[in-house]
Amino acid sequence: MEFFKDKKVFVTGSGGFIGSQLSERLLELGANVTCFLRYTSSNNIGNLKHLPKDLIERAKIEYGDIRDYERIKYLIEGQEIVFHLSSSISIPYSYMGIRDVVSTNIDGTLNVLTASKEADIDKLIHTSTSEVYGSGQYFPIDEKHPLCAQSPYSASKIAADKLVESFEKSYDLPVVVVRPFNTYGPRQSARAIIPTIITQAVIREKIYLGSLHPKRDFTYVSDTVNGFLISAESSTSSGQVFNIGSGIDVSIGDLCKIILNILGLEREILSCEERIRPDNSEVSRLQADYSKAKNFLGYTPKVNLEVGIQRTIDFLEKNIFNYKADVYRF
């Protein structure tokens, strides 16, 4: 991808699971990457710590808060491409931390949009989520599917997506909305279902989960990252929304069995009340129709579930000390 060589690229949420891997790939492609992380007194770089030394030394690390417009405006000035991944992502947390989720996901997105407009950037790639669809009304789910806010988190992301749409229509801001389905892989926190299952299976005789019947479209992180990159590179992507998924849905119960089979373990699987979402908030099924991304961008997923899970297991085995399987991470 010669397109990214020497490009000035700004990545919000770069210390996160997907953001760190997107930043790593951009650096490998020769981009001049500014990695934006939320400030802490420890100057924690999050998952960027996993990058090879030669790459992290080429990255420009900047700290702040996505809700601080002046800081965002200053950092986006002079950039060519903006990848906006900064978000408060936990659905269970959104039940109790609504104002935090709303201010981060909506006000933060407004700041990035406004600063990008003022800086006259070439393109902004905004991160959505399959959760904006709610429980699917038809399958597979395409980009024309109605949006349904079944949690405060999904409501905040719908609002952010609509802000992005409005800036494209009102100000001709070149934007793309990338809508990943359930991304998984190395560096993901125990908040997510696949690391939760793996870490519990390794150290416990019983696995405690929430509802086992919901189905999700699990997409390996390198496929998701590729979706971001080709969305930025495409000359026809502006103003578009793209589903990025695998096209295959798996129930949580069956997912657990697949993981246990790969691990060669037998464990009792229990549905735990603490982890079950409110009935009307639980999204029952998500399955991506990624044909638009395939036709517009040439996107196709390349890593199947079994291969992706094995790669995730390999990472977790080397980093198990960072995970506490006996604590519910929401």
DSSP 73-98: HHHHTT-SEEEE------HHHHHH-H
SS3 265: coil
> Which of 65, 174, 61, 59 lies closest to 116 in space, CA to CA?
174
Q: Is the pLDDT of residue 119 over 60?
A: yes
Angle at 272 between CA 267 and CA 274, to 5 degrees: 145
Q: Is the pLDDT of residue 3 over 70?
A: yes
Q: Is the pLDDT of residue 329 over 60?
A: no
Omega cis (within 30) before 140? yes
Question: Domain 2-183+221-247+287-302 is in which class?
Answer: alpha beta
Query: Cα separation of 126 and 160, whole Å?
Result: 9
pLDDT band for 113, please (50, 70, 90 cuts).
Answer: very high
What one-character DSSP code corresponds to residue 257? H
Q: What are the residue ranges spanned by the domains of the chain?
A: 2-183+221-247+287-302
221-233 and 17-28 helices cross at what angle (nearest 10)? 60
Contact partners, residue 119, CB within 8 Å, separation at least 6: 73, 76, 77, 78, 79
Query: Cα separation of 324 and 103, whole Å?
Result: 29
Q: Is the pLDDT of residue 325 over 70?
A: no
CA-based Rg of the chain, rounded to a whole angstrom? 19
Give the model's pLDDT for residue 150.
97
Give the model's pLDDT for residue 328.
59
Q: Whole-number mean pLDDT of the chain?
A: 96
**Predicted structure pTM score:** 0.96
Angle at 15 between CA 18 and CA 12, to 5 degrees: 80
